Amino acid sequence: MKVLILCTGNSCRSQMAHGFMQSFDKRIEVASAGTEASGKLNHKAVEVMKEIGIDISHHSSDSVDLYLDKQWDYVITVCGGANENCPAFLGDVKHRLHIGFDDPSHATGTPEFIQNEYYRVRDEIKEAFYKLYKEEILPQL
């Protein structure tokens, strides 16, 4: 089973989703990418994932171009609002899904509020991707 998770910058939400999906089942080959990959991970995303025992610090922020010539069972976009540029993936894909999340890197306010936005989005990603795993992916493995 091969899963590609797409976002714009591939530094935060797609990286968290990548970490969760890999943690659910080692039989799943997971990659993440962005249309405008930043080339680095969001340090707060790494931090909030590490707090729950998932280390994504070794991930890389990659361009979607690296994955266009591969076959995928699932390609999942995780962009949030309609004003974001959600990637269109035209490669060989069995299932295309969109599961949108707010971008915590755009949060403004007190440090506590911003930290809580990272926690909230992390937990929403975990819940949505675990549901996808249990209901759709696991029965196919």
Which residues are catalytic, by number?
A: 7, 79, 86
C-beta neighbour count of 114 within 10 angstroms = 15
Give 27: exposed, middle or buried? Use CB within 10 Å, 0-12, 13-18, 19+: exposed
Residue 50 amino acid letter: K
Residue that is written with structure tokens 């999340």 in the block: 101
Phi/psi at 75 (nearest 5 deg)? -120, 120
- How far is 36 from 19, CA to CA, in rounded Å? 20
Sheet harboring 71-77: ordered strands across? 29-34, 2-7, 71-77, 92-98
